[in-house]
Amino acid sequence: MASVPSAQSAPAAAAPVVLEQEVLGSRRLSNVLVAAVVSAGGAGFLLTSLSSYLGRDLLPIGHPAALVWVPQGLVMGLYGLAAALLATYLWAVIGIDVGAGSNRFDKAAGRLLVTRRGFRQLIQVETPLKDIQAVKVEVRDGLNPRRRLALRVQGRRDLPLTRVGEPIPLVDLEREGAELARFLGVPLEGV
């Protein structure tokens, strides 16, 4: 008969010293789909405008050559130009992956390092762990929903930790908040 070790003889699990959370940036499927739709729509408007100007159908559907160049074809060209500029911006944001980064909680060094990728530079915020007073779970539903984790830091505004954009499911938000509060040894607020 095998013996089962008692709880006292089992080695205590070492508490983690570093907790690192990856934060998703703008390189998401929803953003890629929006950029693709804007690009296709802009190309359609530009081809419609060019068809109107040249008097030849450059699109396989409809008869854009039948449009009068001024004002219809010209306005279509302006819409196409605006869509092309917007698509360029969206693809640049996706390519750079703006907002991606990490939250690194290091108990050994006694600091929190929040990094995010911006347009031209890497943004870093460093805070001593002893200044963190609580982990906040913010949930606001309605027309502009918000679900995020933030840290209440002594002498500063709340420091958001989660990604911007798509709301995080409540179960995941509460689990991440509880895990972080347990790791830091601070209370969890807003649940």
Q: Please give the DSSP secondary-structure letter assigned to residue 162.
A: S
Structural domain of residue 180, as residue ranges? 99-189
Task: Taking residues 28-52, report their average pLDDT.
Answer: 96
7 pLDDT more than 50: no
Q: Please give the DSSP secondary-structure letter assigned to residue 155.
A: T
| 191 or 35, greater pLDDT | 35
My answer on whether 77 and 130 are in the same domain is no
Compute, in degrees rounded to 10, the torsion defined by CA atoms 69, 70, 73, 77: 120
28: burial class by Cβ within 10 Å (0-12, 13-18, 19+)? middle
Name the domain boundary from 39, 71, 96: 96
pLDDT of residue 168: 84
pLDDT in tens, 51-102: 999 999 999 998 999 999 999 999 999 999 999 999 999 999 999 999 999 9
Task: Taking residues 8-33, report their average pLDDT.
Answer: 81
- Average pLDDT over the chain reads 89
pLDDT in tens, 132-153: 999 999 888 888 888 889 999 9
What whole-number percentage of the chain has pLDDT above 70?
92
| 95 or 3, greater pLDDT | 95
Task: Taking residues 31-51, report their average pLDDT.
Answer: 97
pLDDT of residue 5: 46
The alpha carbons of the chain give a radius of gyration, in whole angstroms, of 26
My answer on whether 134 and 118 are in the same domain is yes
Name the domain boundary from 44, 79, 96: 96
My answer on whether 66 and 129 are in the same domain is no
If you search the block for the tokens 């109107």, which residue do you land on?
52
pLDDT of residue 113: 97
My answer on whether 65 and 147 are in the same domain is no
Alpha carbon separation from 83 to 5, 22, 64 (Å, rounded): 68, 32, 18
pLDDT of residue 72: 94
If you search the block for the tokens 């530009």, which residue do you land on?
46
Name the domain boundary from 39, 74, 96: 96
Which tokens go with 166?
A: 């798509």
What whole-number percentage of the chain has pLDDT above 90?
76
Q: Is residue 7 part of a domain?
A: no
Distance of CA 73 to the CA centre of its chain: 38
pLDDT of residue 22: 93
pLDDT of residue 127: 95
pLDDT of residue 191: 66
My answer on whether 37 and 71 are in the same domain is yes
Nearest in space to 114 (alpha carbons), one of 181, 19, 15, 16: 19
